Structure 1
Amino acid sequence: MAAVIGVDLGTSAVKVLLVDETGATLATGSTAYPLQQPKPGYSEQDPEDWIRSVKAAIIALGKKPEADLSQVAGLSFSGQMHGLVLLSAAMRPLRPAILWNDTRTTAEVNQINQTMGKRFIEITRNRALEGFTLPKLLWVQKHEPENFAAAKMFLLPKDYVRYRMTGVAGIDYSDAAGTVMLDEDKRRWSPAILATFNIPASLCPPLIEATDCVGTLDPEFAAAVGLPKTVKVFGGGADNACGAVGAGVLHPDQLLLSIGTSGVVLTYEPDSKTTYNGKLHYFDHVVPGQHYSMGVTLAAGHSLNWFKKTFAPDEDFATLVASAAASRPGANGLLFTPYLVGERTPYADAKIRGSFIGIDSRQTRADFVRAVIEGITFSFRDVLAVYQDSGRTFKSAITIGGGSQSPLWLQIQADILNLKIVSLKNNQGPGIGAAMIAAVGLGWFASFEACAKQFVEEKATYVPDRKQVERYTRYYKLYHDVYPATWPITAGLLQTEES
């Protein structure tokens, strides 16, 4: 039976999935790569590590007894967003890639805001933030002028991998929107933004749809990994857009809750003219011609990972999360705000830091674990409130990532958000989304909706407990007060630390 491969290029590892025409995942493979943090706030990777790891993951996939790579007809991508890969005339990286979670560009964000103001949001539907690609380009322009002058083109991470696999350069609209250089109305690189910041139009790669076939595999690459050179390669998309498709979130009354390193609350946008005035991200979708919006918690899974590494290094995540059952809703009066690396939605504050509020001597470790889980989920309610304030209503939320593995956490999500929460049998969201792009691109399905009916299957549903909804609503009001009360203190602490 014919199959497709979904390549999910994440922040810490690449995952590859082999999926057949029925939507069954036949085999998976994964290879990790290092993160470079040469200075505080810097987050970089060597793009060659991605190439080596993608090759290794596909080779490992092919060694699985259930995998027959000779049957692969198509391949596509999901990729970490916003990262800057600056290429020389020889189309090789001039410097390490600057990643989405790099925060060195505050001065460049201020430059964008002061220079273009509201006009910038009118063009891009987004406000400038440190994570986006344009501020990174401006940082290189200012601090590494020799690299900027030598650059022929920039790409985003998955686009560089696709280029190395095919020899064809391009960027799909979902990732192009995340550069905040795209004119959302005209679906082209914005001449106004490029001219304002002296960025040559030639640096910007050709724009493609996620489902466009860019060609077939480079014969040398195909031979190296054991794939047929006839495999068709499709554009692919930003990881959050792919995660939404892979979870079947294709209607405006659905939400996607994704808990990875960061946390995402995302929905399909019914109207291409929608604007949230920069309060939420508004991007092109991998569904051609469509859009999605989302809010982001910068340290969702990262908060739990930090807690585990610091206080329970020898305990696995499942056991740690399950221990929160020994506490109760509200964690016995303990609140946690997950601002370990700043926050994006709704505050866009790089200097805010996390807090435990309400510590007393009767609390146990279980209370602290539950407070972290609840704090992450309260941050999702902050994003939900932005949607609700704009008049949006939702029937359900589909959850993927770390939070979807625990029945306890799923019920906490239902009670804090007051929504029906749905978990899936296949929790490979972005990777499945990438596979679905290839399946639709090959013509196996007429639409993503038709593909989702075959590829996406619900596992369990969690409904809100009215008593706990009321209790959590009281706690949420207190949680919401923590940010304005603590930001002057944490900003002062950072300033003192830096002085």
Structure 2
Amino acid sequence: MSYLGIDLGTSEVKLVLTDDDSRVIATSSARLRVDNPHPLWSEQAPQAWWNATLDAIAALRAEAPQAFQALRGIGISGQMHGATLLDRNRNVLRPAILWNDMRAHAECVELEALVPDAPAITGNRAMPGFTAPKLLWLSKYEPAVYRAIDKVLLPKDYLGWKLTGEFVSEMSDAAGTLWLDVARRDWSDRMLAATGLDRSHMPSLVEGSDVAGQLREELRREWGINGPVVVAGGAGDNAASAVGIGVIQAGDAFLSLGSSGVLFAATARHAPNPQQGVHAFCHCLPGQWHQMSVILSAAASLHWLSGVTARPVAELVAGAERLTATQQAQAPLFLPYLNGERTPHNDATAKGVLFGMTPAHETAHLAYAVMEGVAFAMADGYAALQAAGTTLESAAFVGGGSRSAFWGELCATALGMPLRRHAGAEVGAALGAARLGRLARTGEDVASVCVPPEVLEWYRPDAARQAQLQRRLAQYRRLYRSLADEFIAFSQS
């Protein structure tokens, strides 16, 4: 038997086909485009997700036809928070509004005014990237679309519907909508009513390792699969990465540098800290929760610099690595708030800043500043988790940024915590999704399936650089506080 993991990211769809022991047989991917029709807007066409998934499946079938024929379980992970809207005829009403879309910042204030104890229900402050504020925005500015809404789906659940014909979500992704009572693991009627919705607009809920449906018969025949295939509830991208890397019990953690940056800590109970922008969500596994600190522009900040300097990312990283400690201390400071910020500031108006530029600065200094600024933002996130009572001994290092040992050592030093890189870290979410598909099919014990992959390398705090980084981190924090009011004024100008 084989199992398929589908990871619907922001920039691409990644697929992993695994065997009975979760060993990777084959992988494929297909690129996606993000549209930004207005400042602060970020959208994608749901049909593009499905087309990319079909393309990636075709490539996977060509690479491993016999293994694909033996497919028995599918799990889906995906970018969280996206508002995907269908009418009664199952037509998509408009492009999906994505997780990094900041247009609904005023509606966050309105939502918390409508339900003053919303953070106690959802475990989280209202943030414009979450799903519920997007619906309040639509009710004001696209009322015809809003009135036509019959179903609201998250991105991965749209793919699940295309695969099974069923409207189903699961706890980890649903927790990021602000419609879930996170402690009770059920939709909140009060939060739904605040946005003019009720349970009929929502998919049903299962645990991520449970069966959400069966692969549609016409797809099974078209793809040449020789038996029935279950589709699991799946997971939000970070919860799926946790399953793929073995972060399944309280005290386990990972730090991810993808487009966004995440510090994810598994917890045995619901442990919110909404005042500092900590996300307290359900895990995708029964009876488990997790905390996350989130920054919106991690590796995306380095890709931004690559675009404006016309230098490849690898060249930028190599240049930063060559700087001496003295040169690093003289580099500008970078606030990586290109898309606003979540943890700990919850500030949609925050902007990216390069501070302290002189004629002596070269591209390598800018590259170092960006990588350091992202590490500092992750250190701010860890401080917020610590304020919520979470102290970590170490964390796995995953995401595209985990390809850089230099960045790993920089983050470890800034956070004061060892990081470890595992085999297959770059496909963690897709691997986790495949494991969820396997659990849904076999009913095996979670701990026996969700084992950590082999540790390839450790990155430990560099005592020689820690004092310098702490001084610069203090400057970094003062810089945000000095500019916070200016960010608001700039956004209103």
Name the TM-score class by shorter chain.
over 0.9
Alignment partner of 2:314 out of 314, 318, 334: 318
Alignment partner of 2:248 out of 250, 253, 256: 250
Report which stretch shifted further, 352-361 or 157-166.
352-361
Shift of 1:358: 2.2
Task: State yes or no: 1:4 paired with 2:13.
Answer: no
Matching residue of 2:85: 86
Aligned residues: 489
Task: State yes or no: 1:139 paired with 2:130.
Answer: no
Alignment partner of 2:355 out of 341, 349, 357: 357
Matching residue of 1:463: 460
- Cα 1:230–1:65 change in 2 (3 A) is closer
Task: State yes or no: 1:480 paired with 2:477.
Answer: yes
2:319 maps to amino acid: S
- Cα 1:209–1:131 change in 2 (3 A) is same
- CA distance in 2 between partners of 1:10 and 1:218 (Å): 23
Shift of 1:278: 4.4
- Cα 1:423–1:43 change in 2 (3 A) is same
The aligned runs of 1:275-290 (5 Å cut-off) are 275-279=272-276, 280-290=278-288
Q: CA-to-partner distance for each residue in 1:328-383, whole Å, 9 max, x for gaps?
A: 34442421110111111111111111212222233332121111101100000001
Matching residue of 1:406: 404
Shift of 1:140: 2.0
The aligned runs of 1:388-467 (5 Å cut-off) are 388-427=386-425, 428-443=427-442, 445-447=444-446, 449-453=447-451, 456-467=453-464
- CA distance in 2 between partners of 1:436 and 1:171 (Å): 17
Task: State yes or no: 1:55 paired with 2:58.
Answer: no
The 3-state SS of whatever aligns with 2:59 is helix
Report which stretch shifted further, 140-149 or 22-31.
140-149
The 3-state SS of whatever aligns with 2:135 is helix
Matching residue of 1:110: 109
The aligned runs of 1:150-229 (5 Å cut-off) are 150-228=148-226
Shift of 1:494: 3.3
Shift of 1:34: 2.4
- Cα 1:73–1:391 change in 2 (3 A) is same
Shift of 1:262: 0.8
CA contact (8 A) 1:133 1:179 kept: yes
Unmatched 5+ residue regions in structure 2?
none
Report which stretch shifted further, 425-434 or 382-391.
382-391
Shift of 1:484: 0.8
CA contact (8 A) 1:318 1:406 kept: no
- CA distance in 2 between partners of 1:289 and 1:17 (Å): 27
- CA distance in 2 between partners of 1:351 and 1:196 (Å): 24
TM-score for the superposition, normalised by structure 1: 0.94
Task: State yes or no: 1:297 paired with 2:298.
Answer: no
- Cα 1:95–1:362 change in 2 (3 A) is closer
Alignment partner of 1:332 out of 314, 326, 330: 330
Shift of 1:229: 5.4
TM-score for the superposition, normalised by structure 2: 0.95
Task: State yes or no: 1:238 paired with 2:236.
Answer: yes
- CA distance in 2 between partners of 1:213 and 1:167 (Å): 13
Matching residue of 2:304: 306
Shift of 1:228: 4.1
Task: State yes or no: 1:495 paired with 2:492.
Answer: yes
- Cα 1:415–1:84 change in 2 (3 A) is same
| Aligned-pair identity (%) | 36
- Cα 1:143–1:361 change in 2 (3 A) is closer
CA contact (8 A) 1:223 1:229 kept: no
Shift of 1:491: 3.2
Q: CA-to-partner distance for each residue in 1:297-348, whole Å, 9 max, x for gaps?
A: 11111110000111134x2x22321221221344424211101111111111
1:321 maps to amino acid: V
Q: CA-to-partner distance for each residue in 1:251-285, whole Å, 9 max, x for gaps?
A: 3333311111111111001223x221342011111
Unmatched 5+ residue regions in structure 1?
none
The 3-state SS of whatever aligns with 2:450 is helix
CA contact (8 A) 2:343 2:384 kept: no
- Cα 1:462–1:222 change in 2 (3 A) is same
- CA distance in 2 between partners of 1:480 and 1:380 (Å): 12
CA contact (8 A) 2:291 2:385 kept: no
- CA distance in 2 between partners of 1:25 and 1:71 (Å): 14
2:183 maps to amino acid: D
